[in-house]
Structure 1
Amino acid sequence: MYGVSLSSVKRWCKQYDGTWQSLLPKSHRPHSHPNRHTKREERQIRNSFKKCYERYGWDGVYSDLKRKGYTRSYSGMIYAAKRMGLVKYKKTKKKSRKHRRYPNC
């Protein structure tokens, strides 16, 4: 009758708790991931980063972690370090193009 399926109406009725905010669309993104680094692994990454990054770079951090029993991949370690905010990248500013006026001869 209203152009909405019966299953949608039933779902809305089940979800309704007396306020209109309960019917607003919600995110379907997961709140956590089962394979995320543990607190212990994050602590290891932070300690190795402080100790080795200045002198040896990412390779030195990864080899130090491997010696300590880290089992994740190289790219996973870099991703976790960036997520923790250990690396501060400088944003490069784009050069603005100046529109030059050429003289008419």
Structure 2
Amino acid sequence: MASITQDMRYRLSLIRFAEKYGVSKTAIKYKTNRQYIYRWKRRYDGTIESLRDRSRRPHHHPNQHTPEEIKLIQDMRRRNPHSGLVVFWVKLMQRGYKRSIPGLYRFLKKQGILAQKLPNPKYIPKPYEQMKYPGQRIQVDVKFVPACCLVNNAKGKKFYQYTAIDEYSRWRYVEAF
């Protein structure tokens, strides 16, 4: 990297002052502790890049997956690319996997090997059969008639409206029962 940060410049000036006047005077002037100065003096190898911040990310975790578990997961995913998380986990458990579902999910997500979703099948509409004569196909519909639509002596009774439509002639017949 070509950029030099303010922290890197600060550390360089701190080291140069410490070489000239000593660590104790440097600690007083820069309002820091001696251990900090010794740490950067130890790390400094003459290049400005050695004063750059390093990653704080841990190198390993005590509960990370073992190489055997990783191989088992990768082999199973190769054989079952479309299995959902729980089904996949159960298949792994049958082969000796001992970890939880969330742990497996985090590992699969980190590795980028989550289940591949199958594409939806293309919809193919059925061809509409044209009618050749009246009465060949009839559509029937039944509706409840609400009380607010009833008048005179029909009030207090229940009515259903039956509608029949002939698809060939579009002739409609409506009756209430």
Aligned to 2:109: 82
Once residues 58 and 91 of structure 2 are traced to their aligned partners in structure 1, the CA distance between those partners, rounded to angstroms, is 32
Aligned to 1:102: none
Once residues 115 and 89 of structure 2 are traced to their aligned partners in structure 1, the CA distance between those partners, rounded to angstroms, is 18
Structure 2 unpaired stretches of 5+: 1-28, 117-177
Task: Specify the SS of the correspondent of 1:70.
Answer: coil
Once residues 73 and 64 of structure 1 are traced to their aligned partners in structure 2, the CA distance between those partners, rounded to angstroms, is 13
Structure 1 unpaired stretches of 5+: 90-105
Which protein, 1 or 2, shows the higher relative CO under an 8 Å CA cutoff with sep ≥ 6? Answer: 1
User: Who wins on radius of gyration, i.e. which is larger?
Assistant: 2
Establish whether residue 69 from structure 1 lines up as the match of residue 96 from structure 2. Answer: yes
Aligned residue type for 2:63: N
Aligned residue type for 2:36: S
TM-score of the superposed pair, with normalisation by structure 2: 0.43
Aligned residue type for 1:70: Y
Once residues 25 and 52 of structure 1 are traced to their aligned partners in structure 2, the CA distance between those partners, rounded to angstroms, is 43
Structure with the bigger percentage of strand: 2
Residue 46 of structure 2: which of 7, 18, 37 is its match?
18
Aligned 8 A contact 1:53 1:60 in 2: no
Post-superposition shift, 1:52? 3.9
Sort the Cα spacing of 1:53 and 1:40 in 2 relative to 1 into closer, same or farther, 3 A: same
Aligned 8 A contact 1:53 1:61 in 2: no
Post-superposition shift, 1:53? 5.2
Post-superposition shift, 1:70? 0.6
Question: RMSD across aligned C-alpha pairs, in angstroms?
Answer: 2.2
Post-superposition shift, 1:88? 7.1
Establish whether residue 59 from structure 1 lines up as the match of residue 86 from structure 2. Answer: yes
TM-score of the superposed pair, with normalisation by structure 1: 0.68
Runs (4+) off by over 2 Å: 2-7, 46-54
Aligned residue type for 2:92: L
Aligned to 2:31: 3
Aligned 8 A contact 2:84 2:115 in 1: no
Once residues 85 and 58 of structure 1 are traced to their aligned partners in structure 2, the CA distance between those partners, rounded to angstroms, is 13
